[in-house]
Structures are given as C-alpha cells and as structure tokens.
Amino acid sequence: MKTINSISIKLIAVLFVLTLAGQGCKKADSTAATDSSKYVLPDSLLKTLTLDTIQACAVTNTITLSGKVSYNDDHVVKIYPMVSGVLQNVNVMLGDYVRKGQVLGVIKSSEMAGFSNDLVSAQTNLRVAKKNLDATQDMFKSGLASQKELLTAEAAQEQAQSELNRVKRVLHINGGSANGDYVVRAPIEGFVVEKQATNSMSIRSDNSTNLFTISDLKNVWVIANVYETNISMIHLNDQVDVTTLSYPDRVFKGKVDKIMNVLDPTNKVMKVRIVLPNPGYVLKPEMFANVKVTNQGNRAALCVPSSAIVFDHSQNYIMVYHSNANIKIIPVGVINSTADRTYITGNVQVGDKIIASQSILIYDALNN
C-alpha cells in the first residue's frame, strides 16, 4: 500500500513538470509571434522619408483678416469744373489710360471769354500807361511837367503792369486759353477710374461733382478689418500675404503700413492699411482680399514641420524615430501653426528625431 502511494506521488510530480514545460513552450511561442509581428521600417522606405528634429522656436502668430483692394489716395486726382459752360470733345472712356497733359474735354465758357477780354484790356491799358510815362518824362526834362506828375505817370504804369500780371495768372489757372475755351487736361498719368462727364453737358463751377477721377494704379492699398479680439496682435511693419479670388494661387507680399487707431462705429472693427506694388495692374480697386498677417511673438515653444503632424480621432500625433524597429507614436497638443511650422506641447523634447514626410503612411503602418 505504501509502495502504491509512492508511485502515485511520483506520477503526479512528473505530470506537473510536463504541464509547466508545455505552458513555457506556449508562452515562448506567443512571445515569438508578437516579436515577429512588430513593424520594422524598410530601408528602402527610409531612404524616401524626411527626418527632422524637434526645435525650440519663437512662436509665430498668424491672423487671417478680410479686406478689399482700394486706390492709393496719394496717387488719386479728382478733376472739378473751374468754370461754367458747355462740355464738348470728351474723348476718353472709363478705364482708359491717359498721360499727363492729355486733353479730356473742352468747356465752351463765357467766363473764359471774359478772362480773354480782361487780358486785352490790361494789355491796352499797359501800352497807354507806358506812352503816357514816356511823354511825361520828356515834358519833365523840358521843365513842362512837375516831379509829382512824373511820379503819377510811373505809378499808373506799375498799376497797369500789375493788373496785366493778375489777369495772366487768372487765365493760366483757368487753362490759359484766350479764345473762350477751357481745356480739361489730365494732371497726372493713370487710369480714368471715375467719369461723370458727357458731351454737351452743361456744368457750373459751383457744382461739387467731379468730372473725372484719375488714379495711378502702380501701387494700391489693401484695407483690412481687424476685430477687437485681434487688435493686440497687429503691429506696424508686420509681414502680410494677400490673396484674391481672381488669383487664388498668387500671393502678394506686403506689410502693415498704417493702423487706424479708431473703431468703425458701425461694424466695430479697426482698419489697417497695406501698400502693395501692382505690376501689370492685376489688382483692381474693390477686389475682395484675404489678408494673412504674420509676426513673431514674445514666447518660445517646441516646433516641428507641419508635415510631421497626424490628426486622428480628435488628437494630434507625431512619430519619434529611434531606429527602424523603434518608432514611437506620441500624442501632442498644438499651440499654433503656420504654413510650414506647428508649435506643440507634449512628452517630447528638443533634439528628438521625428518623421516629417509621409507621416500618415507610417502612422497607419504602425497601427496595423
């Protein structure tokens, strides 16, 4: 009986050892399967990737504003009627390019005829005054005229000369024509951007409506709207990228030239002005403009190329590269971003190597 029990105990011990050995083999097989399924980045794919490092950068603030293209008021001239009369010979159209001094129209004016008569009268009076002075001087030398009479004749000539000069200046201000016509000329070269004049139109000099407006569109203004929440982020000389609906793929570079330090009482926005060169006159007044203002902030943060960020399930990630077989997916928070840089927070540090291209492809491979 004692021998049977001893054999049973030995048998149970052997079975227990065999069971443990079997479980150990299964665990080793499971571990081997896990290791074999871990993603390893192929060398051929690594050669096509861009690797970068996490850096500490000054945070760049980017604000997008709405605005519109406007005339450069420093290069706009409004032309008003200087005399009354009938407008004729209007030979320019809205949008025409005109040169300085080019004739825009002619006003047949009775006022100009009056100025012409004044010129003739002043010239005649001056000739009479000169002849009178010559005669008085001869009589004074012969003792037939007094010193007082000579002084009177000299004063009369000076007055006649002064009157002639005045009439000439008035005539010059009013076009200089002595035949009763007032010639409307372009004071600068540029485009006719407003035209409120037609042939045979009767005009008056006291009319506040301008006949033409000419603008030099070699450079233009973009007036942008800044809401109260963004006022503290706008500064003079901030760099600006402007795009338009007409040229969505073309970026016009400029800077903030002036800040209007008052709010519009209607829409509660502050206006800022951007001056842009306009080669080829591609920017037209009243065009809608999308204005992106960029400036350097006063704080630093970790930054990575924007191409390194992967957004999935309401969370941003980057992939930290240690080796082909050791790539970690790290969740990060985004502070701000520009076209090429994203500022982040998270369990990473300066100098960590990251994957900066084909990020979504690698992210999916690691997850699968």
Sign of the dihedral through C-alpha 114, 198, 100, 82? positive
Q: Do the domain assignments include residue 11?
A: no
pLDDT tens per residue, range 28-38: 333 332 333 47
CATH number at residue 50: 2.40.420.20
Range of the domain at 127: 112-175
Do 322 and 255 fall within a single domain?
A: no
Give the pLDDT of residue 78.
92
Out of 26-30, 156-160, 248-252, 291-295, which region has the weakest mean confidence (pLDDT)? 26-30
Do 361 and 315 fall within a single domain?
A: yes
Domain count, the chain: 4
Residue 25 burial (C-beta neighbours within 10 Å; 0-12, 13-18, 19+): exposed
Do 90 and 146 fall within a single domain?
A: no
pLDDT tens per residue, range 207-255: 778 899 999 888 899 999 999 988 888 889 988 999 999 998 899 999 9
pLDDT tens per residue, range 173-195: 776 666 767 888 899 999 998 99
Residue 10: pLDDT above 70?
no
Confidence label for 288 from pLDDT (cuts 50, 70 and 90): very high
Please indicate whether residue 276 or residue 206 has the higher confidence score (pLDDT).
Answer: 276
* pTM, entire model: 0.58
Give the pLDDT of residue 178.
65
pLDDT tens per residue, range 57-108: 888 778 889 999 998 888 899 998 888 888 888 989 988 999 998 999 888 8
Provide the pairing of β-strand 190-195 with 97-98. antiparallel
